[in-house]
A and B are shown apart, each in its own frame.
Chain A
Amino acid sequence: MSLSPTLLNELQPLLDGMCEERLSVAEEAHLEELLMASAEARAYYVQYIDLHGSLHWDAALAPSAEDDAVNALVDATILRLAQPQTVSETTHGKPASQIRQAWLQRVCASVAAACILGVGIWIGNRTAKAPQVANHDVSKPSVARSKTSQQPLTGHESEPAVRAEPHKFTQDDVHLAGQSVTNPEQSAGASGAVAGFGSAAPEVPPVAAAVPPGKQPFVPVRGSGTIGTSAASSATVLAFVNDQLKAGWTQAGITPSARADDAEWLRRLHLDLVGHIPSVREVEKFLADRSKTKRAIEVDRLLDSPEFARHFATIWTDLLVGRASRPEVNRPALAKFLRDSFQRNRPWQETVYDLVTAEGRTDQNGAANFLVAHLNDGAIPATGITSRLFLGTQLQCNQCHDHPFDNTKQELFWAFNSFFQQAVVVRDDEKYDPKTGRMVVAGIELATKDSDGPVYFETRQGLMRVAYPEFGGTRIDPGQKTGRRRELARLMTQGEESNLAPAFVNRIWNQFHGRSFTPAVDDMGSHSPPTHPALLDRLSEEFVQSGYDIKQLIRWICNSDSYQLTSRFSEGNSKDNPEAGEIPLFSRMYVKPMSPEQLYDSLVVATQGQLAGGPTLDQSDKTRDQWLRQFVVSFDTEENDETSTLDGSITQSLLMMNGDLVRQATSMQTGTWLHKLLSSRETETERIQSLFQSALSRPATPKELAMVKKLLKSAVSPVKNGTPESAYQDIYWALLNSNEFILNH
């Protein structure tokens, strides 16, 4: 058989899919195509299906010697001839293998009928064997015992390989896996495999100054619940942050970019904190303010606004359940839960605790939607995402193998996975509503089932192993009474090995600075040392000390020196360019692409969409989600991946240039912002300034002003057949499609 490896690779998954009867129609067609095209493929197919069928045949026929079984079959066939009626009844709608078994049991009864048909002599020779067949326990099939080779080759054949009764897991089972188990108490202290779950001290020389000698080791403790850090200590933290950044710049021999002007900074702050550009009025007010502390005051003002909670709820809804719409996930309920958490500035670890332990209906407890979205495929997605989002640790690779760089083991994934094994999604069936007389879907519920024991997984070598719930070196009682998710949430939010605080700090820093301390925001660990370890450690520590006070953390970041800088390069920091693969030094603000939500909301603000009967920002969540959904493609993979075409690519550009949203934004219909602007008694210069302020949150420069004026003049010339209206439309369209608009800088 000379099947090319390429063809084999294509064929094999299709054949396996066929054996498990889960081929899609398209796959079946593909298989057909391959088989039609290649004789080698057909030969291989026949051999593979023969193997599959043999396994089926033997197992379904149970451990009897083949002859006896076939004898029984013969008897049955005879019986069927004698009583066609009865047998065809049994055949109908029942797997034939079951029927074959039933026949086996009826051998004795059928013997008489068989005789009647005149095969008595032959049957007579066999009757001595017939009772054996009949008594044989067919519920314990054993492929291994065929007549040709009853001598076991290995020494472990004395027990039936398949246990007929449901398997009850005990620790004894672990020996099967070729792995010894220590009891939970013993293993609690020995945490060999949890690197990556702590903030590891990197061996690679970091950018910034090393941790000062007197520094306390970072030990997260559960916050007292009271939020708030005194002004004095807050200033100390800020000074430390700035010192660390400065040390990094000095060490690299660069000078940071200039301070961003107020307009640039205000636009950035609004995009980062409330998710859209500032309104013209806000820009004017801020630029007119002469106070020295106006930036810090603006940070506080926005943090207290409901729009901050809305924006952060949007970000975390996307992170937690993705943007794609999934029928079982109640996005509004989750968004509401998050909005409430951010609005009240609940300690982060409390929110995480709620998300991990949530129970109940998805419409009543919004937090339940997080796990409902990820419990598919044996909670594999839930395992990966919980670790990735909250702990900044990539475990999903460990699903199938030990980590190639980090020293985390495959077992770590499954130990983490087993925390989710009690969680189930219950779909309440339609129920009769006596009030309305209609059937209503009762809802989807995240519930907990009693289950205990380990999860099973297979190593790359095909070795079966087990994993018990274990986190950060602490193994919990795998019994039924343990609420595993509660234990996990407790360990994540209080455990000394938890990376909860550093992961959050790293993520928030990334959100505001465009880069995190690690190359990937959610891939921390010993293989990926942070650029500013002392800074990350200190912020994490202070975050914990503050009682996981999210707004305080944001204040530190937004008031830091690096956040005040412009996004333009200076002469002295051209090498601080992470885009080119350099490690980030935060000597300038890195340009961030707008998220689709930021873009949508910014367009609403820029065009004052509500004037034209569009939704206000508060009402726009639903329309925005509908608009977004057309760009999001989700993959039902083990990581529940999805992708968006709104990613700063050409697709996005085309969509912006030609899409409804921008068309509406530049519409001249009565009532639109542009219409209003042009109907006003403002001068040409004032109108142009309004266009710039509205789209770019800054006045036009003298050069720009001159250029636009020239454009306007030439557009209305008789030759071009333009109108003043269309010229303004074109200019606004150009501004909304400029890089300056679609980027957060």
Chain B
Amino acid sequence: MSTTGNSTLPANGPAVNPPPSAEFIQLFTKTQRSIFLYILSLVPRPVDAEEILQETNLIVWTKSHQFQPGTNFRAWASQIAYYEVLKYRERKQRDKLHFNPDLLELIAAESLQQAELLDRRRQALAECLLKLRETDRALIQSRYRPDGEGPGIADQLGRPINSIYQSLSRIRKVLLECINRRLAAEVRG
């Protein structure tokens, strides 16, 4: 583990742009999750969304100097993400069906409009997860861990795949309702 603190530029580094500011880095780290979720709403497969997130991060990073401190970082980064989504769709044209461009725009707008609400919902989710029954939580965990997919879980638990899908659907609904209740309670104070 090296000690750091040395801020000199390397001789061979790509030092074309000035390094991002500490503020920028903080904003960047804070918004990773919401950018990912924004992308996911446009390309519903997590694998795709993650790939696009990486592309987006790359652009965000190289354009860091264009960001004007004090403006809305998330909106700025979301814009970049949106273009990355379009680029990705172009590349993967022959893959599975994607949402049509009109719908893509509508959903992008909806996601941005709900941005703050979604932040609150994500916080509520953490607490709702704790309230799940242990078996339900275990199932959710095995589903969402890397490579966790229905068929594998079905094999492992010796349950029919359909019953796994049913359970997952039920648990997601429980979580959604729990989040709704929590937000409603917040509003009431």
Interface of A toward B, CB cutoff 8 Å: 1, 12-13, 16, 18-22, 25, 28-29, 32, 35-36, 39, 42-43, 45-60, 66-67, 70-71, 73-74, 77-78, 80-82, 91, 95-101, 108, 111-112, 114-124, 127, 130-131, 141-144, 146, 148-149, 152-154, 156, 161-162, 166-167, 169, 176, 377-380, 421, 451, 453-458, 462-464, 638
Contact = CB atoms under 8 A, between A and B. Distances in A.
Interface string B83-127: 000000000000011011011001100110010001001110111
Contact of A149 (B10, B102, B127): B127
A94 to B, nearest CB: 9
A16 B165 contact: yes
A71 B29 contact: yes
Given A35-B106, A57-B37, A111-B2, A43 B172 contact: no
Given A36-B106, A70-B32, A96 B159 contact: no
B3 A124 contact: yes
A120 B7 contact: yes
A50 B158 contact: no
Given A91-B51, A156-B134, A456 B150 contact: no
Contact of A162 (B47, B61, B145): B145
Contacts of A453: 158
Given A70-B29, A378-B161, 6 more contacts: A21-B45, A143-B137, A153-B131, A154-B134, A169-B158, A462-B170
Contacts of A36: 100, 102-103, 106
Main secondary structure, interface of B, reads helix
A57 B176 contact: no
Contact of A50 (B37, B50, B138, B174): B37
Contact of B129 (A21, A56, A108, A143): A143
Nearest to A42: B110
Interface string B138-151: 10111111111110
Interface string B4-38: 11111110011100011010010011101100110
A161 B138 contact: yes
A29 B140 contact: no
A81 B4 contact: no
Contact of A116 (B10, B102, B131, B179): B10
A32 B106 CA distance: 11
Contacts of A124: 3-5
A66 B9 CA distance: 29
Given A59-B148, A67-B29, A378-B159, A152 B140 contact: no
Contacts of B121: 47, 50-51
A47 B114 contact: yes
A191 B170 CA distance: 32
B167 A29 contact: no
A49 to B, nearest CB: 5
Nearest to B26: A122
A207 B29 CA distance: 79
A33 B170 CA distance: 24
B154 interface: yes
A141 B169 CA distance: 21
Contacts of A67: 29
Contact of A73 (B29, B131, B159, B163): B29
A120 B6 contact: yes
B146 A97 contact: yes
Contact of B50 (A97, A127, A141, A146): A97
A54 B103 contact: no
A120 B114 contact: no
Given A47-B121, A161-B138, A108 B51 contact: no
B80 interface: no
B36 to A, nearest CB: 6
Contacts of B135: 176, 463-464
Contacts of B123: 148
B129 A144 contact: yes
A96 B54 contact: yes
Interface string B35-58: 011001100111101110110011
Given A97-B46, A380-B160, A54 B37 contact: yes
Given A19-B172, A43-B114, A51 B125 contact: yes
B163 A458 contact: yes
Which 6 pairs between the two chains have the least Cβ-Cβ distance? A378-B160, A96-B50, A59-B144, A118-B19, A53-B40, A124-B4
Nearest to A24: B97
B106 A161 contact: no
B36 A57 contact: yes
Contacts of A45: 41, 107, 110
Given A55-B140, A59-B148, A638-B162, A122 B172 contact: no
Contacts of B40: 49-50, 52-53, 56
Nearest to B141: A162
Which of B57, B62, B150, B154 has the most chain A CB within a 10 Å cutoff? B57
A50 B41 contact: yes
Contact of A456 (B53, B118, B126, B158): B158
Contacts of B47: 95-97
Nearest to B138: A161
